[in-house]
Amino acid sequence: MFEPELNEQQRLMQESARKLAEERFKPGAARADREHAPPLGNIKVLAEHGFCGMGLPEAYGGSGLGVFEMVLVIEQIARACANTAMLLSGTVGASARAILQVGSEAQKRKYLPRVARGELLVAWSMSEPNAGSDVGAIATRALRDGEHYVINGAKLWCSFASLADVYLVMMRLDPTPGMKGIGALLVERDTPGFSIGRRLDLVGLRATGMAELLFDDCRVPAENLIIPAGGIGKILAVLEADRIGGNPPICLGVAGAAFDAAVRHLKERSQFGKPLADNQGLQWKLADMAIDIEAARSLLYRTAQRVDAHKNSMTDASIAKTFVNEMAIRVTNQAIQLAGASGLAEDFPFERYFRDVRGMAIGYGTTEILRNTIAREILAGRYQP
Ligand SMILES: Cc1cc2nc3c(=O)[nH]c(=O)nc-3n(C[C@H](O)[C@H](O)[C@H](O)COP(=O)(O)OP(=O)(O)OC[C@H]3O[C@@H](n4cnc5c(N)ncnc54)[C@H](O)[C@@H]3O)c2cc1C
């Protein structure tokens, strides 16, 4: 396996995450998926080991580590339980990073230390029924009323909706159409006029509490403003960094687990009087899966290191996320094929692996929208291979 240059701290973190995930999270992974039951206890365990505050500065209770360390840890957690990895990416990911990078000092002090202790989950809410890839079509609106904003509208596909304590909600703060009128407010769970709507069960990552958010004359204090109208570009820049740290390492970890399970299956099962692994045609499938995983890992690790060194370009995260997402779909799909009917049965993990990565090519920017970004940069002469 391609071994990156890891310093002592990174190597210890990677090992400790792998051991924790294997011993504590893997045994409950299938049940969490089957029962759609978020493994919240695992977040407490991760917090006790310092993983929830990884990307936050020490001043807010974190350990000041970078995106590369997040990638190393989340990959290991995802090998055992993708739902736990997704919840961890929710604590260390886009929302906390947004508060850190664009929030007021009061907002940082109020929320971030509790995020680092695993006590507070901040959900990220952008999507709406008519605003998916087209963020400029957001219709949920907030009107200023004295020292409050009054919010009306509905949000869709919000991961962690039913579990979160605070919601970073993108909405229209100004009637100016398109992106210019959009900003963001922090909404606390018990705010009058705010409620969690229908539970939304996707094909995979079923234990992440996805639901609708509903706002009916919901009044939030003006001090909860985090992005004024017209500042949405700042939030999208945060999302750009998170494209690497949250979603792709989950895909990489799950693909690694699917590969391991496929190798075991080919060695253990015999047909025509010999192990399946003795068929060269199947061996070559394993070789192709390994090539795919290693290429994805190299690209992801290098991109994460470039993000930490502030050397990344607009295209880096888009290229890495697209490749890693599609690699994971290919590898987990191939693992199903290698396992035959067992690959589709709930008693085996193969079908869950496939389901858990399938949506990742849609969430955090679809692979088509990311290709639009890559193509735009190529044609503008800002990309050199
Ligand atoms: C696992 C998962 C977790 C998610 N978590 C969250 C969350 O926490 N918070 C949140 O706000 N949202 C979340 N989402 C929603 C996600 O952000 C949206 O699904 C995504 O932005 C795409 O929007 P859409 O589903 O409405 O698809 P659409 O935008 O309707 O797109 C449909 C298809 O058309 C393509 N398409 C659209 N426009 C173009 C174009 N201009 N050029 C080429 N192709 C185009 C898309 O790529 C896609 O293939 C999550 C989604 C998933 C799958």
Last-in-domain residue among 203, 229, 255: 229
Q: What is the pLDDT of residues 303-334, one digit of tens each?
A: 999 999 988 777 999 999 999 999 999 999 99
Report which ligand 1 atom has the smallest distance to the Cα of 360: 1
Establish whether residue 133 lines the binding site of ligand 1, counting it when its CB lies within 6 angstroms of any ligand atom: yes
Establish whether residue 136 lines the binding site of ligand 1, counting it when its CB lies within 6 angstroms of any ligand atom: no
Give the DSSP per-residue string, 302-315. HHHHHHHTT---HH
Last-in-domain residue among 91, 121, 151: 121
Establish whether residue 359 lines the binding site of ligand 1, counting it when its CB lies within 6 angstroms of any ligand atom: yes
Quick one: 325 and 280 in the same domain?
A: yes
d(CA 246, CA 75): 9
Q: Cβ distance 213 to 169 under 8 Å?
A: yes
Quick one: 167 and 221 in the same domain?
A: yes
Mean pLDDT lowest for which of 116-130, 165-179, 232-246, 360-374?
A: 232-246
95 falls within a domain: yes
Quick one: 201 and 266 in the same domain?
A: no
Count other C-beta atoms under 10 Å from residue 266's C-beta.
20
pLDDT surpasses 90 at 343: yes
Quick one: 110 and 188 in the same domain?
A: no
Q: Which residues contact 259 (CB under 8 A, 6 or more apart)?
A: 286, 289, 290, 293, 331, 335
pLDDT surpasses 90 at 360: yes
Task: For residue 204, give the DSSP letter.
Answer: S
Last-in-domain residue among 121, 144, 163: 121
Report which ligand 1 atom has the smallest distance to the Cα of 125: 11
Establish whether residue 125 lines the binding site of ligand 1, counting it when its CB lies within 6 angstroms of any ligand atom: yes
Position 2 confidence tier, pLDDT thresholds 50, 70, 90:
low
Q: Which amino acid is at 60?
A: Y
Neighbour-count burial for 153-179, b at 16+ CB within 10 Å, e otherwise: bebbbbbbbbbbbbbbbbbbbbeeeeb
**To test the ligand 1 pocket, which listed residue (196, 366, 376) has its Cβ within 8 A of the most ligand atoms?**
366
Quick one: 314 and 339 in the same domain?
A: yes
Q: Cβ distance 364 to 324 under 8 Å?
A: no
Establish whether residue 57 lines the binding site of ligand 1, counting it when its CB lies within 6 angstroms of any ligand atom: no
Quick one: 78 and 162 in the same domain?
A: no
Q: Cβ distance 277 to 267 under 8 Å?
A: yes
Establish whether residue 121 lines the binding site of ligand 1, counting it when its CB lies within 6 angstroms of any ligand atom: no
pLDDT surpasses 80 at 17: yes
**To test the ligand 1 pocket, which listed residue (121, 127, 134, 371) has its Cβ within 8 A of the most ligand atoms?**
127
Quick one: 48 and 146 in the same domain?
A: no
What is the whole-number distance in angstroms between the Cα of residue 75 and the centre of ligand 1? 23
385 falls within a domain: no
| Domain of residue 363, CATH code | 1.20.140.10
Quick one: 253 and 357 in the same domain?
A: yes
Measured at the CA of 355, the angle between CA 11 and CA 37, to 5 degrees, comes to 80
Domain of residue 105, residue span: 8-121
pTM value?
0.96
pLDDT surpasses 80 at 58: yes
| Domain of residue 44, CATH code | 1.10.540.10
Q: What is the pLDDT of residues 74-104, one digit of tens each?
A: 999 999 999 999 999 988 788 888 999 999 9
The percentage of residues in the chain with a pLDDT greater than 70, rounded to a whole number, is 99
**To test the ligand 1 pocket, which listed residue (238, 362, 370, 373) has its Cβ within 8 A of the most ligand atoms?**
362
Q: What is the pLDDT of residue 3?
A: 65
Q: What is the pLDDT of residue 232?
A: 85
Q: What is the pLDDT of residue 1?
A: 60
236 falls within a domain: no
Q: How much is the average pLDDT of 24-36?
A: 98
Q: For the CA atoms of the chain, what is the radius of gyration?
A: 21
What is the whole-number distance in angstroms between the Cα of residue 358 and the centre of ligand 1? 13
Quick one: 90 and 208 in the same domain?
A: no
Neighbour-count burial for 17-47, b at 16+ CB within 10 Å, e otherwise: bbebbeebbbebbeebbeeeebbeebbebbb
384 falls within a domain: no
3 falls within a domain: no
Report which ligand 1 atom has the smallest distance to the Cα of 365: 21
Residue whose CA is closest, atom 26 of ligand 1?
132
Q: What is the pLDDT of residues 143-176, one digit of tens each?
A: 999 999 999 999 999 999 999 999 999 999 999 8
Report which ligand 1 atom has the smallest distance to the Cα of 127: 11
Quick one: 195 and 294 in the same domain?
A: no
d(CA 200, CA 243): 22
Quick one: 263 and 345 in the same domain?
A: yes
Report which ligand 1 atom has the smallest distance to the Cα of 131: 26
Dihedral over Cα of 352, 252, 245, 157: its sign: negative
Quick one: 137 and 222 in the same domain?
A: yes
What is the whole-number distance in angstroms between the Cα of residue 318 and the centre of ligand 1? 15
Two tokens at 297? Answer: 């890992």
Establish whether residue 132 lines the binding site of ligand 1, counting it when its CB lies within 6 angstroms of any ligand atom: yes
Q: What is the pLDDT of residues 197-233, one digit of tens each?
A: 999 999 999 999 999 999 999 999 999 999 999 998 8
Establish whether residue 322 lines the binding site of ligand 1, counting it when its CB lies within 6 angstroms of any ligand atom: no
How high is the mean pLDDT of the chain? Answer: 95
The count of domains in the chain is 3
Q: Which residues contact 361 (CB under 8 A, 6 or more apart)?
A: 322, 325, 326, 329, 367
What is the whole-number distance in angstroms between the Cα of residue 132 and the centre of ligand 1? 5
**Strands 211-221 and 148-158, sheet pairing:** antiparallel
| Domain of residue 150, CATH code | 2.40.110.10
58 falls within a domain: yes
Residue whose CA is closest, atom 13 of ligand 1?
157
1 falls within a domain: no
Q: Any idea which residue has 């886009």 for tokens?
A: 94
Establish whether residue 76 lines the binding site of ligand 1, counting it when its CB lies within 6 angstroms of any ligand atom: no
234 falls within a domain: no
